Amino acid sequence: MLQGLPVEPVAVASGEAALKRLLVDDFAVILMDAQMPGLDGFETAGHIKRRERTRHIPIIFLTAADRDARLALRGYAAGAVDYLTKPFDPWVLRAKVAIFVDLWVKTQQLRQQAQQWARLSGAAQDAVRLLEDPGLDNVERAREALRAALPHDPEPLTRRAR
């Protein structure tokens, strides 16, 4: 279903395994079954949303559970952005995943730009301080500080979303 999207799917067998994986990897979106061994999807989503590192990851529940509205409400209460029951339209799921992946990529790009801006801003402040005390040595040091802060070969965002 997700073939051709810039994603690297990661499968886990339980809520506990998902929580462990979320400790070490970043994810653009989580597709989760409501019914899982051990921690169910609702409990797992609750843990995900309580962690600072993972609380902003969108969760889409995919479940074969009956269309009981209370289960869907429980999913939304646990922090899900959507709750799909089987059978569902795979193209709808693909479109939803594509949107969240695109948002994740844009967020990563903004983070990179913010880090670059912080480096440049700090270097500019250092250069101004150096230039306030004129001298050939300080001018050269200011120039070096600014050059060091400039991206030499900006690394494009090529990581695939998970």
Residues 110-155 have pLDDT tens digits of 989 998 888 888 888 888 877 887 666 778 777 787 878 777 655 5
Residue 158: pLDDT above 80?
Answer: no
What is residue 76's three-state secondary structure? helix
Of residues 33 and 68, the one with the higher pLDDT is 33
Contacts of 10 (CB under 8 A, 6+ apart): 21, 25, 27, 162
CA–centroid distance for 93 within its chain: 18
- Tell me the two tokens of residue 92: 């709808």
pTM for this prediction = 0.72
